[in-house]
Chains A and B, each alone.
Chain A
């Protein structure tokens, strides 16, 4: 089946640094990918919709300059947390929409970011 891979699965960084998280669709092309954030023991919150070749669409309340999204190819979207602070520590999950399977999203394993 379709697989979405995220890297890294866990990253620890110092406050003030920037961290890039990759989301790859391994066996299908994804014109649209989604980035979610999940706080401990809470549900997933949609942060942004990443569209290949165009600017991402951010949900209300999500700082686009803080969370930079680039969808440069049909199989790769990246989320860069810029100037990370401890409150950015979270579980970030991406999903990709498989055009071949109507309405089906495939999720990555998630990336845990810990900012010290």
Chain B
């Protein structure tokens, strides 16, 4: 069975400091992994995805994530937080059929000035 665990329900950073949002996965398949962002009362926007190509994936808005099979992790990082990054972030695992079966519980990122 597939699952994702987002290790932090809430992360607070200061503007200009690095961001780290942690995600561990469990999958019986070679997984496809995604990070999505959701701003208040908005839909979901894809930040980046991993589909067995390069293990370091670069996404939009300066975010990137590294797939580490040995650690079953797919942590999301950004070197310097911006106020507009404050949102809810979801780690998602899907199988090769493209069925997004499992969403993580989400991590709320707060950015202070």
User: Which residues of A are at the interface with B, using a C-beta cutoff of 8 A?
Assistant: 6, 32, 34, 42-46, 49, 91, 93, 95, 97, 102-110, 112
Contact = CB atoms under 8 A, between A and B. Distances in A.
Interface of B: 32, 34, 36, 41-46, 49, 51, 90, 94, 96, 98-101, 103-106
A109 B90 contact: no
Contacts of B44: 44, 93, 95, 107, 110
B24 to A, nearest CB: 16
Given A43-B103, A43-B105, A46-B101, A103 B94 contact: yes
A102 B100 contact: no
A34 B43 contact: no
B49 A103 contact: yes
A106 B34 CA distance: 12
Interface SS majority for chain A: strand
Contacts of A32: 98-99
B98 A107 contact: no
B29 to A, nearest CB: 11
Contacts of B96: 102-103
Given A46-B101, A107-B44, 20 more contacts: A6-B43, A42-B105, A43-B106, A44-B44, A44-B90, A45-B103, A49-B99, A97-B98, A102-B51, A102-B96, A102-B98, A103-B51, A103-B94, A103-B96, A104-B98, A106-B46, A107-B46, A108-B43, A110-B41, A110-B43
Contacts of B42: 109-110
25 contacts: A6-B43, A43-B90, A43-B105, A43-B106, A44-B44, A44-B90, A44-B103, A45-B103, A46-B100, A46-B103, A49-B99, A95-B100, A102-B32, A103-B51, A103-B94, A103-B96, A103-B98, A104-B98, A105-B34, A105-B94, A105-B98, A107-B36, A109-B43, A110-B43, A112-B41
